[in-house]
Amino acid sequence: MKILVLNCGSSSIKYKLFDIDSKTTLGQGGVEKVGMTDSFLKHETPSGEKIVLQKEILEHGAGIAFILETLTSKEYGGISSLQEINAIGHRVVHGGEKFNKSVLITDEVIKNIEACIDIAPLHNPPNLAGIRAMAKLIPGVPQVAVFDTTFHQTMPPHAYLYGIPYTLYKKYGIRRYGFHGTSHRYVSRRACEILNVKYETQKIISLHIGNGASATAIAYGKVIDTSLGFTPIEGLLMGTRCGDLDIGAATYLMDKENLDTKAASDLLNKQSGLLGLSEASSDMRDLEKAASEGNLQAQTALEVFAYRIKKYIGAYAAALGGLDVLIFTGGIGENSWGTRSAVCKDMEFFDIEIDETKNDGLRGKETVISPKSRRVKVIVVPTDEEFMIAEDTLKNVTRF
């Protein structure tokens, strides 16, 4: 059984081809700069060779066709024909309230994904473009949608409702949905495997901290709260997204700067967060370097970033009524020991502590970084959303 996993973003398409039987990868990579003239494909062959192929890719269909060409090419591919692909798993960002699990894609499912475009205008359209392109390029091959939102569907109303008139929730579906669900699901299960504890017995806070960032509270295998909300802007500070913000400040700014909704959305989604605060970069590596060279504004941005995460840990520990496992994942969570250290500083009263001899220099490796003496296990788990999507795809296609 061979499963192709696709993650179509607005200007990128990531892919990974799994051979489920031999548990190997038959090629992976991504097209970047879709829609621009200088687009290219980065590909890793089954033997691990890394190549870059330049090609103008103006839309997702062309990008996916290029990926399939590469995967079946004599030189770089892992399969000899498209007929070898048995199923396709798609990351779909927003499933609204409709989906509480991954599903086989039908016309009805496509309609429901379309219905969520309004609330995920940047994400659902490219996801749909990927689904449609695959249906054209290899018709008849089953496709499965794995939503970022489904893992969070166990949240109780007191966690997902906002304090607005209930009729507006009913009318427009305005509530907390949460995102990064596939990542939180993967790392929380994997952490329990590594720690050799039963998933259903643990109180977990999972921190997915990358360019986008979210914290999720998981009690006995079920999400009870998460920091991203109706759209992926709420909660933690992010690369370019502001995270929690007084709504009054947003409307005040719209008045003062004469911003329409699009301009306000751009300001808060694309020019804020680490980038906005530091006025230097949205990238953690750049900011850590700048701060170490004495850039005080970059240092302040890093402090806001870590402080916000720490606050969420406190809130979620209270919501969970205790804590057993604290997980760091995502590009920053996996690689930035400085961030992990700042987040966990002075948290001994929660029985949270980091052993700096384990944390210092640790990048992208499954490792327990708390000392044995502390009750809360702090653990770094590199995320693997593609693996989760492949697993869900397999479950959905073998059910029939």
- Residue closer to ligand AMP (CB basis): 7 or 153: 7
Query: What is the distance, to the nearest Å, from the Cα of residue 317 to the centroid of all Cα atoms in its chain?
Result: 22
Q: How many CB atoms lie within 10 A of CB 371?
A: 13
d(CA 147, CA 144): 10
Identify the residue among 210, 235, 243, 276 touching ligand AMP (CB under 6 A). 210
Closest CA to 213 of 189, 240, 187, 191: 240
d(CA 303, CA 343): 9
95 within 8 A of 113, measured Cβ to Cβ: yes
Beta strands in the chain (DSSP E): 2-8, 12-19, 24-32, 40-44, 50-54, 87-92, 103-104, 143-147, 203-209, 213-219, 222-226, 325-329, 367-368, 377-380
- Residue closer to ligand AMP (CB basis): 283 or 356: 283
Q: Which of 19, 107, 118, 148 is catalytic?
A: 148
Region 330-359 residues binding ligand AMP, contact defined as CB under 6 A: 330-332, 335-336
For residue 116, give the amino acid letter. C
Identify the residue among 235, 239, 243, 273 touching ligand AMP (CB under 6 A). 239
- How far apart are CB 231 and ligand AMP at their closest, in Å? 17
Site string for ligand AMP, 242-281 (x = CB under 6 A): ----------------------------------------
- Residue closer to ligand AMP (CB basis): 95 or 239: 239
Q: SS3 for 34?
A: coil
To the query of whether residue 246 is one of the catalytic residues in this protein, the response is: no
Region 134-193 residues binding ligand AMP, contact defined as CB under 6 A: none
d(CA 285, CA 316): 28
- Residue closer to ligand AMP (CB basis): 332 or 388: 332
Identify the residue among 44, 266, 283, 356 touching ligand AMP (CB under 6 A). 283
Region 85-144 residues binding ligand AMP, contact defined as CB under 6 A: none
* φ and ψ at residue 60, rounded to 5 degrees: -60, -40
Q: Does residue 198 interact with ligand AMP by CB under 6 A?
A: no
d(CA 94, CA 279): 31
- Residue closer to ligand AMP (CB basis): 77 or 239: 239
Return the range that interacts with ligand AMP (CB under 6 A); candidates 173-181, 221-229, 282-290, 387-395: 282-290
Contact footprint for ligand AMP (CB under 6 A): 210-211, 239, 283-285, 288, 330-332, 335-336, 363
Would you please indicate which residues are annotated as catalytic (active-site) residues?
A: 148
